[in-house]
């Protein structure tokens, strides 16, 4: 029993040693592997950190490059603006120079125009004075012509008046003559009429006397009738 137990113990202890050895071996290997893994992980982490750092640096560089590009673009735009402003200023300067030249030329032209105007004014003044003299002479001549025409018109009117007066006088004389002739004619007609009436009256008297005689009427009645008839004749004359 004790031997078996001893054997068992020996076997058990040997097993234990073997297990310990194996465990130690496993532990050593595990530790070695773990250290190796840890080391690898540390290396990976360092590499990753380095990569990240490089990536960050790269991103930072890209960001800076982008900002630099934007800044360059801004500077280029500002430079373009400045160049454009310079061009505009040059154009304005040229325009100002051109305008100054134009103004100088205009001033010169205005000066020449002013001189020409003064000359024209003098010429116009002389022409005006000459025109005034001509107008004065013309008015004098017109006045003389008017006076002459007035005299001639008055002379003509006087002559025409004399002619009209003569004609009126002639007409008046003719009218008087005509009137006298008419009166004379009327008088002659009246005389003729009276003569005819007298003749007729005498004829009537003779006829009446004949009738009275033929009818053997009273002589007194006949004489009275004749006297009455003569009285009527006298009153008619």
Averaged pLDDT, groups of 10, the chain, 237 residues long: 48 55 61 75 80 82 85 85 85 85 85 87 88 88 88 86 85 85 84 84 79 65 55 54
Q: Return the pLDDT at 220.
A: 55
Helix 219-236 and helix 2-214, axial crossing angle in degrees, nearest 10: 140
At residue 3, the pLDDT reads 46
DSSP annotation of 143? H
Q: Rounded CA gap, 229 and 203, in Å?
A: 13
Tokens of 74: 């801004």
pLDDT score at 154: 87
What pLDDT does 2 receive?
47
pLDDT at 17: 58
Q: Report how far residue 15's alpha carbon sits from residue 23's, in angstroms, rounded to the nearest whole number.
A: 11
Least Cα distance to 229 among 212, 211, 204 occurs for 204
Give the pLDDT of residue 106: 83
The DSSP symbol for 237 reads -
Alpha helices for 215-237 (secondary structure H)? 219-236
What pLDDT is attached to residue 224?
Answer: 57
Rounded distance, CA 37 to CA 45, Å?
12
Which residues have CB under 8 Å from 218's CB, separation 6+? none
């Amino acid at each position: 029993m004790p031997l078996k137990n001893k054997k068992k113990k020996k076997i058990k202890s040997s097993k234990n040693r073997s297990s310990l050895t194996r465990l130690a071996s496993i532990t050593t290997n595990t530790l070695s592997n773990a250290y190796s893994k840890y080391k690898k992980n540390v290396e990976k982490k360092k590499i990753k950190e380095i990569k990240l750092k490089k990536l960050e640096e790269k991103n930072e560089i890209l960001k800076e490059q982008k900002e630099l590009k934007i800044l360059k673009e801004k500077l280029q735009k500002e430079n373009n603006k400045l160049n454009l402003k310079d061009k505009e200023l040059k154009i304005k300067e040229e325009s100002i120079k051109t305008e100054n030249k134009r103004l100088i030329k205009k001033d010169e032209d205005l000066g020449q125009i002013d001189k020409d105007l003064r000359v024209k004014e003098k010429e116009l003044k002389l022409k005006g004075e000459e025109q005034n003299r001509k107008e004065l002479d013309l008015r004098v001549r017109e006045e003389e012509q008017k006076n002459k025409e007035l005299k001639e018109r008055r002379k003509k009117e006087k002559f025409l008046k004399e002619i009209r007066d003569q004609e009126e006088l002639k007409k008046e004389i003719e009218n008087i003559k005509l009137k006298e002739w008419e009166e004379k004619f009327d008088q002659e007609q009246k005389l003729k009429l009276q003569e005819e009436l007298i003749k007729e009256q005498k004829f009537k008297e003779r006829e009446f006397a004949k009738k009275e005689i033929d009818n053997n009427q009273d002589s007194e009645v006949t004489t009275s009738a004749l006297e009455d008839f003569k009285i009527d004749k006298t009153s008619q004359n």
